[in-house]
Amino acid sequence: MTTFTFPPGFRWGSATSSYQIEGAVDLDGRTPSIWDTFCTVPGAVANGEDGRVAVDHYHRYREDVAAMAALGLDTYRFSTSWSRVIRPDGSPNPAGLDFYSRLVDELLANEITPWLTLYHWDLPEYLPGGWLNRDTAHRFVDYAMTMHEQFSDRVRIWTTLNEPWCSSFLSYGAGEHAPGHTSPVEAVRAAHHLMVAHGLATQALRAADPTAELGITLNFGPVSAADPDGAADRDLARRIDGTANRFFIEAILRGAYPADVLEDLGEWVEPGLIADGDLEVISTPIDVLGVNYYTTDVVRAPAPGEAGEPKVVRGRELASPHITAPEAISVARDLPVTSLGWAVDPDGFRDLLIRLQQEYTGPAGIPMVVTENGAACPDEVRDDGSVIDDDRIEYFSGHLAAAHQAIEAGVDLRGYLAWSLVDNFEWAHGYDKRFGILSVDADLRRREKASARWYSAVVKSKTLVQ
């Protein structure tokens, strides 16, 4: 038996996002986001599902906050819906703001720290061109400052963007997420505009509020070559690592996009896209790096004549999100996989945290917080109503041990937020793939899964026993 005790002050919590849980998509003046629209595209989302009702958090937030309090969680990372709080004419929508005000008050009354993410993919449909339009970055700053005026007295931790890789390469390059485009040029343009939005908003928030804690959340997918000695495999792994992992963090913490990635992207970086001064804006200092981690990947080059078939999902032709390595083939490993087919690799998590510390956050002198980590598992509902999810407990346990090992190795890791508080709308996978530590029944009733009770015991004792 091994006991892992976490440092005092380590944050313990959970995370969600607006479109995945709120529902109430046309209440109190909210207007459609690109996800509302995308969900109407035939085949875009499994079973034709959408976030119209989601898990009705808009009406059940008190119950959800009470559940967190009962579990002993001290931090809640949520996102706000831009089109709920800002009207198409740019003016604030008081009814939308009021929802988040009530949520924040409820959290504070329960001694839970609110951690606000400004953008978790539900871009207002009314913004012409979405992230293809540089002006969206300026509209993002306006939105950020409206939120700051309303909430800075009560919210002290702010994340600009969640996973810009997903909002660009997966959304404009692969077609898998809203708005569902498959253009490498658009993917790069969206990625850069997202980075500019992050930088401008960080500057404006910092100027208005020097003591707020500001950051961004990036998703990291470590990737290695199937044949570590094979030049072709290694080059594919380098390319994927370049766009998926290094592109964003190096712009933010080093003030430059990686030279090899710019070379790989070639003409997809349009002339004039990266304006003078953009990288200074993008590398405005942050206070914390949010790390989302789910899995790792091992890739190989296709054999001669082994052509990649176009990937058709529910009748829609998707492209590879790895626009500089679309031919890469993922190799199955001797590891358990989750319901999404993602390999369970806690060692990869430990190694990632150590790499990030050594190469990026250590030199920049900033701490990290795990802002998402979790697994989609087949939960078993017993006759007595209990929900058994041993696979999820195993996942959390392995990854918390890995996080602890990273701390022991010198990583400045300050907290862990489990994804997710409740089962929710898992984007293109709809409601079938469940990440919650609370289950949600068809009648929207919440129930603690075994993993919630297990996590609560860890959180309350600040100790993991394996």
Known catalytic membership, residue 372: yes
CB of 132 to ligand PNW, least distance (A): 21
Q: Confirm or reject binding of residue 423 to ligand PNW (CB under 6 A).
A: no
Q: Which is nearer to ligand PNW, 250 or 423 (CB)?
A: 423
Q: Which is nearer to ligand PNW, 245 or 283 (CB)?
A: 245
> What is the pattern of x (binds ligand PNW, CB under 6 A) and - over residues 350-369?
--------------------
Select from 55, 166, 356, 452 the one that contacts ligand PNW (CB under 6 A). 166
Distance CA 430, CA 403 (A): 30
Distance CA 140, CA 196 (A): 10
Select from 264, 345, 372, 423 the one that contacts ligand PNW (CB under 6 A). 372
Contacts of 59 (CB under 8 A, 6+ apart): 23, 24
CB of 375 to ligand PNW, least distance (A): 9
Q: Which is nearer to ligand PNW, 12 or 435 (CB)?
A: 435
CB of 395 to ligand PNW, least distance (A): 12
Give buried/exposed letters for 87-100 (b at 16+ CB in 10 A, else e). Answer: beeeebbeebbebb
Give buried/exposed letters for 380-412 (b at 16+ CB in 10 A, else e). Answer: eeeeeeebebebbbbbbbbbbbbbbbbbeeebb
Distance CA 244, CA 98 (A): 36
> What is the pattern of x (binds ligand PNW, CB under 6 A) and - over residues 143-162?
-------------------x
Q: Confirm or reject binding of residue 163 to ligand PNW (CB under 6 A).
A: yes
Question: Any alpha helices (H) in 82-122, and if so which ranges?
Answer: 82-85, 94-109
Q: Confirm or reject binding of residue 169 to ligand PNW (CB under 6 A).
A: no
Looking at 22, 49, 163, 426, which residue is catalytic?
A: 163
Which residues, 435 to 464, sit near ligand PNW by CB under 6 A? Answer: 435
Select from 17, 284, 324, 397 the one that contacts ligand PNW (CB under 6 A). 17
CB of 20 to ligand PNW, least distance (A): 6
Select from 78, 426, 454, 455 the one that contacts ligand PNW (CB under 6 A). 426
Q: Which is nearer to ligand PNW, 24 or 376 (CB)?
A: 376
CB of 292 to ligand PNW, least distance (A): 6
Q: Which is nearer to ligand PNW, 17 or 439 (CB)?
A: 17
Q: Which H or E element spans position 235?
A: helix 231-241
Q: Which H or E element spans position 211?
A: none
Contacts of 461 (CB under 8 A, 6+ apart): none
Using a 10 angstrom Cβ sphere, with 0-12 exposed, 13-18 middle and 19 or more buried, the burial of residue 371 is buried
Known catalytic membership, residue 426: no
Distance CA 164, CA 172 (A): 11
Looking at 176, 250, 372, 448, which residue is catalytic?
A: 372
Select from 292, 373, 405, 439 the one that contacts ligand PNW (CB under 6 A). 292
Using a 10 angstrom Cβ sphere, with 0-12 exposed, 13-18 middle and 19 or more buried, the burial of residue 101 is middle
Which residues, 182 to 221, sit near ligand PNW by CB under 6 A? Answer: 219, 221
Per-residue CA distances from 422 to 55, 397, 446, 456 (Å): 8, 19, 8, 14
Cα torsion through 435, 130, 91, 121, rounded to 10: 10
CB of 372 to ligand PNW, least distance (A): 5
Rg of the chain (C-alpha set): 21
- Residues catalogued as catalytic: 163, 372
- Contacts with ligand PNW by CB under 6 A lie at 17, 20, 162-163, 166, 170, 219, 221, 292, 372, 419, 426, 435
